Chains A and B, each alone.
Chain A
Protein backbone atom coordinates (compact mmCIF):
# COMPACT_ATOMS: atom_id res chain seq x y z
CA UNK A 1 0.00 0.00 0.00
CA UNK A 2 3.01 2.30 0.30
CA UNK A 3 3.38 2.63 -3.42
CA UNK A 4 0.10 3.91 -4.73
CA UNK A 5 0.50 5.44 -8.16
CA UNK A 6 -0.93 8.95 -8.10
CA UNK A 7 -2.44 10.31 -11.31
CA UNK A 8 -3.52 13.70 -10.04
CA UNK A 9 -2.56 15.94 -7.11
CA UNK A 10 -5.00 18.35 -5.48
CA UNK A 11 -3.90 20.90 -2.91
CA UNK A 12 -6.78 22.12 -0.68
CA UNK A 13 -4.58 23.43 2.14
CA UNK A 14 -6.12 26.49 3.80
CA UNK A 15 -9.59 25.85 2.36
CA UNK A 16 -12.60 25.28 4.58
CA UNK A 17 -15.76 23.20 4.25
CA UNK A 18 -17.25 22.56 1.73
CA UNK A 19 -14.45 23.50 -0.69
CA UNK A 20 -12.20 20.41 -0.24
CA UNK A 21 -15.20 18.16 -0.95
CA UNK A 22 -16.28 20.22 -3.99
CA UNK A 23 -12.79 20.34 -5.47
CA UNK A 24 -12.27 16.63 -4.81
CA UNK A 25 -15.52 15.80 -6.55
CA UNK A 26 -14.56 17.89 -9.56
CA UNK A 27 -11.08 16.37 -9.73
CA UNK A 28 -12.29 12.77 -9.38
CA UNK A 29 -14.91 13.33 -12.08
CA UNK A 30 -12.09 14.25 -14.45
CA UNK A 31 -10.30 10.92 -13.88
CA UNK A 32 -10.96 7.62 -15.59
CA UNK A 33 -11.92 4.49 -13.64
CA UNK A 34 -9.10 3.24 -11.44
CA UNK A 35 -7.04 6.43 -11.53
CA UNK A 36 -5.98 7.90 -8.20
CA UNK A 37 -6.25 11.41 -6.81
CA UNK A 38 -4.12 12.52 -3.89
CA UNK A 39 -5.85 15.34 -2.01
CA UNK A 40 -4.06 17.28 0.71
CA UNK A 41 -5.96 19.62 3.04
CA UNK A 42 -5.90 21.28 6.46
CA UNK A 43 -9.65 21.08 7.12
CA UNK A 44 -10.15 19.02 10.32
CA UNK A 45 -13.73 18.30 9.23
CA UNK A 46 -12.33 16.26 6.36
CA UNK A 47 -11.55 13.39 8.78
CA UNK A 48 -15.28 12.64 8.90
CA UNK A 49 -16.33 14.33 5.65
CA UNK A 50 -14.10 12.48 3.22
CA UNK A 51 -15.17 8.94 4.32
CA UNK A 52 -18.84 10.04 4.15
CA UNK A 53 -18.32 11.54 0.72
CA UNK A 54 -16.43 8.43 -0.42
CA UNK A 55 -19.13 6.03 0.79
CA UNK A 56 -21.93 8.09 -0.71
CA UNK A 57 -20.33 8.55 -4.13
CA UNK A 58 -18.66 5.14 -4.35
CA UNK A 59 -15.15 6.47 -4.96
CA UNK A 60 -13.01 4.47 -2.48
CA UNK A 61 -10.34 6.00 -0.23
CA UNK A 62 -7.33 3.72 -0.62
CA UNK A 63 -5.31 5.31 2.13
CA UNK A 64 -5.36 8.34 4.40
CA UNK A 65 -2.80 10.11 6.56
CA UNK A 66 -3.34 12.49 9.45
CA UNK A 67 -0.44 14.26 11.16
CA UNK A 68 -2.74 16.47 13.22
CA UNK A 69 -2.53 19.44 10.87
CA UNK A 70 -2.25 18.08 7.35
CA UNK A 71 -4.66 15.45 6.09
CA UNK A 72 -3.93 13.42 2.98
CA UNK A 73 -6.30 11.15 1.08
CA UNK A 74 -5.65 8.75 -1.78
CA UNK A 75 -8.95 8.46 -3.63
CA UNK A 76 -9.62 6.09 -6.48
CA UNK A 77 -12.05 7.09 -9.20
CA UNK A 78 -14.92 4.61 -9.57
Chain B
Protein backbone atom coordinates (compact mmCIF):
# COMPACT_ATOMS: atom_id res chain seq x y z
CA UNK B 1 0.00 0.00 0.00
CA UNK B 2 1.48 3.35 -0.97
CA UNK B 3 1.57 6.06 1.67
CA UNK B 4 1.18 3.48 4.40
CA UNK B 5 2.20 4.85 7.80
CA UNK B 6 5.09 3.12 9.50
CA UNK B 7 5.55 2.59 13.22
CA UNK B 8 8.86 1.59 14.83
CA UNK B 9 8.75 0.57 18.49
CA UNK B 10 11.57 -0.45 20.81
CA UNK B 11 10.85 -2.72 23.79
CA UNK B 12 13.63 -3.24 26.31
CA UNK B 13 11.76 -4.49 29.38
CA UNK B 14 9.90 -7.71 30.09
CA UNK B 15 7.95 -7.06 33.28
CA UNK B 16 4.17 -6.96 32.96
CA UNK B 17 3.93 -3.16 33.14
CA UNK B 18 6.49 -2.73 30.33
CA UNK B 19 5.30 -5.66 28.22
CA UNK B 20 1.83 -4.22 27.60
CA UNK B 21 2.38 -0.77 26.01
CA UNK B 22 4.32 -1.86 22.89
CA UNK B 23 1.86 -4.72 22.30
CA UNK B 24 -1.19 -2.49 22.71
CA UNK B 25 0.20 0.29 20.54
CA UNK B 26 1.62 -2.14 18.00
CA UNK B 27 -1.56 -4.15 17.54
CA UNK B 28 -3.76 -1.03 17.42
CA UNK B 29 -1.46 0.55 14.82
CA UNK B 30 -1.59 -2.60 12.70
CA UNK B 31 -5.40 -2.58 13.00
CA UNK B 32 -5.23 0.98 11.60
CA UNK B 33 -3.43 -0.34 8.51
CA UNK B 34 -0.01 0.83 9.62
CA UNK B 35 3.17 -1.19 9.09
CA UNK B 36 4.58 -2.01 12.52
CA UNK B 37 7.89 -3.38 13.72
CA UNK B 38 8.76 -3.92 17.38
CA UNK B 39 12.44 -4.31 18.19
CA UNK B 40 12.79 -6.54 21.26
CA UNK B 41 16.10 -6.21 23.02
CA UNK B 42 17.56 -6.80 26.49
CA UNK B 43 14.85 -7.88 28.99
CA UNK B 44 12.17 -7.21 26.38
CA UNK B 45 13.17 -10.54 24.81
CA UNK B 46 11.38 -12.31 27.65
CA UNK B 47 8.04 -11.31 26.10
CA UNK B 48 8.80 -13.41 23.02
CA UNK B 49 9.47 -16.57 24.98
CA UNK B 50 6.98 -19.41 24.69
CA UNK B 51 6.92 -19.71 28.48
CA UNK B 52 6.60 -16.00 29.27
CA UNK B 53 5.43 -15.55 32.84
CA UNK B 54 5.51 -11.79 33.34
CA UNK B 55 6.04 -10.47 36.81
CA UNK B 56 5.54 -7.07 38.31
CA UNK B 57 7.68 -5.62 41.09
CA UNK B 58 5.67 -3.22 43.26
CA UNK B 59 8.80 -2.23 45.20
CA UNK B 60 10.25 -0.82 42.00
CA UNK B 61 7.05 1.05 41.11
CA UNK B 62 6.12 3.34 44.01
CA UNK B 63 3.23 4.91 42.06
CA UNK B 64 1.59 1.53 41.42
CA UNK B 65 -1.84 1.35 43.06
CA UNK B 66 -2.27 -1.71 45.30
CA UNK B 67 -5.81 -2.96 44.85
CA UNK B 68 -7.75 -6.14 45.41
CA UNK B 69 -9.34 -7.85 42.38
CA UNK B 70 -12.31 -9.28 44.31
CA UNK B 71 -15.13 -8.19 46.59
CA UNK B 72 -17.58 -5.31 46.15
CA UNK B 73 -16.61 -2.31 44.04
CA UNK B 74 -15.92 0.01 47.02
CA UNK B 75 -13.50 -2.62 48.34
CA UNK B 76 -11.78 -3.05 44.97
CA UNK B 77 -11.29 0.70 44.75
CA UNK B 78 -9.33 0.91 48.01
CA UNK B 79 -5.69 1.75 47.41
CA UNK B 80 -3.81 -0.19 50.08
CA UNK B 81 -1.00 1.94 51.50
CA UNK B 82 1.73 -0.69 51.90
CA UNK B 83 5.14 0.84 52.67
CA UNK B 84 7.91 0.05 50.23
CA UNK B 85 10.26 -1.19 52.96
CA UNK B 86 7.63 -3.72 54.02
CA UNK B 87 6.96 -4.98 50.48
CA UNK B 88 10.64 -5.66 49.93
CA UNK B 89 10.89 -7.74 53.08
CA UNK B 90 7.86 -9.99 52.73
CA UNK B 91 8.86 -13.24 50.98
CA UNK B 92 6.63 -13.94 48.00
CA UNK B 93 5.18 -10.44 47.91
CA UNK B 94 6.19 -10.04 44.29
CA UNK B 95 4.41 -13.17 43.07
CA UNK B 96 1.41 -12.31 45.27
CA UNK B 97 1.06 -8.82 43.80
CA UNK B 98 1.72 -10.18 40.30
CA UNK B 99 -1.19 -12.60 40.60
CA UNK B 100 -3.43 -9.80 41.92
CA UNK B 101 -2.47 -7.60 38.98
CA UNK B 102 -3.10 -10.36 36.43
CA UNK B 103 -6.49 -11.03 38.02
CA UNK B 104 -7.36 -7.33 37.84
CA UNK B 105 -6.41 -7.18 34.16
CA UNK B 106 -8.52 -10.25 33.46
CA UNK B 107 -11.50 -8.84 35.36
CA UNK B 108 -11.29 -5.67 33.28
CA UNK B 109 -11.35 -7.59 30.00
CA UNK B 110 -7.72 -6.91 29.13
CA UNK B 111 -6.00 -9.61 27.08
CA UNK B 112 -3.03 -11.35 28.71
CA UNK B 113 0.46 -10.51 27.43
CA UNK B 114 0.87 -13.83 25.55
CA UNK B 115 -2.60 -13.40 24.00
CA UNK B 116 -1.83 -9.87 22.90
CA UNK B 117 1.60 -10.90 21.60
CA UNK B 118 0.05 -13.67 19.49
CA UNK B 119 -2.63 -11.25 18.23
CA UNK B 120 0.15 -8.87 17.18
CA UNK B 121 1.89 -11.58 15.16
CA UNK B 122 -1.45 -12.67 13.72
CA UNK B 123 -2.34 -9.15 12.54
CA UNK B 124 1.06 -8.71 10.89
CA UNK B 125 3.18 -6.84 13.43
CA UNK B 126 6.80 -7.79 12.84
CA UNK B 127 8.48 -8.83 16.06
CA UNK B 128 12.24 -8.51 15.80
CA UNK B 129 14.43 -10.22 18.38
CA UNK B 130 17.81 -8.55 18.84
CA UNK B 131 20.36 -11.25 18.03
CA UNK B 132 23.12 -9.60 20.05
CA UNK B 133 21.19 -9.65 23.35
CA UNK B 134 19.89 -13.14 22.54
CA UNK B 135 23.50 -14.24 22.41
CA UNK B 136 24.39 -12.41 25.62
CA UNK B 137 21.49 -13.96 27.57
CA UNK B 138 21.89 -17.39 25.99
CA UNK B 139 18.49 -17.49 24.23
CA UNK B 140 17.94 -19.82 21.28
CA UNK B 141 15.35 -19.40 18.54
CA UNK B 142 13.56 -22.44 20.00
CA UNK B 143 12.87 -20.40 23.16
CA UNK B 144 10.70 -17.98 21.21
CA UNK B 145 7.23 -18.19 19.69
CA UNK B 146 6.80 -18.78 15.98
CA UNK B 147 6.71 -15.78 13.68
CA UNK B 148 9.57 -13.87 15.32
CA UNK B 149 12.24 -12.40 13.07
CA UNK B 150 15.89 -12.03 14.00
CA UNK B 151 18.07 -9.01 13.30
CA UNK B 152 20.34 -6.36 14.76
CA UNK B 153 20.35 -2.61 15.29
CA UNK B 154 21.14 -1.62 11.71
CA UNK B 155 18.19 -3.53 10.28
CA UNK B 156 15.78 -1.90 12.73
CA UNK B 157 17.25 1.58 12.23
CA UNK B 158 16.89 1.24 8.48
CA UNK B 159 13.15 0.77 9.00
CA UNK B 160 12.93 3.41 11.77
CA UNK B 161 14.64 6.03 9.59
CA UNK B 162 11.67 6.00 7.22
CA UNK B 163 8.98 5.58 9.88
CA UNK B 164 6.33 8.13 10.83
CA UNK B 165 6.27 7.13 14.48
CA UNK B 166 9.27 5.94 16.48
CA UNK B 167 8.78 5.19 20.14
CA UNK B 168 10.87 3.79 22.93
CA UNK B 169 8.13 2.00 24.80
Contacts and interface: CB of A to CB of B under 8 A. Distances in A.
A53 B32 contact: yes
Contacts of A17: 24, 28, 110
Which size class do A's interface residues fall under?
10 to 19
B28 A18 contact: yes
Interface of B: 24, 27-28, 31-33, 108-111, 119, 123
Contacts of B33: 56-57
Contacts of B24: 17-18
A19 B123 contact: no
Given A22-B27, A22-B119, A16 B109 contact: yes
Contacts of A31: none
A21 interface: yes
Interface in A17-61: 17-19, 21-22, 24-26, 42-43, 52-53, 56-57
Interface of A: 14-19, 21-22, 24-26, 42-43, 52-53, 56-57
20 contacts: A15-B109, A16-B108, A16-B109, A17-B110, A18-B24, A18-B28, A18-B31, A19-B109, A19-B110, A19-B111, A21-B31, A21-B32, A22-B27, A22-B119, A25-B32, A26-B123, A52-B32, A56-B32, A57-B31, A57-B33
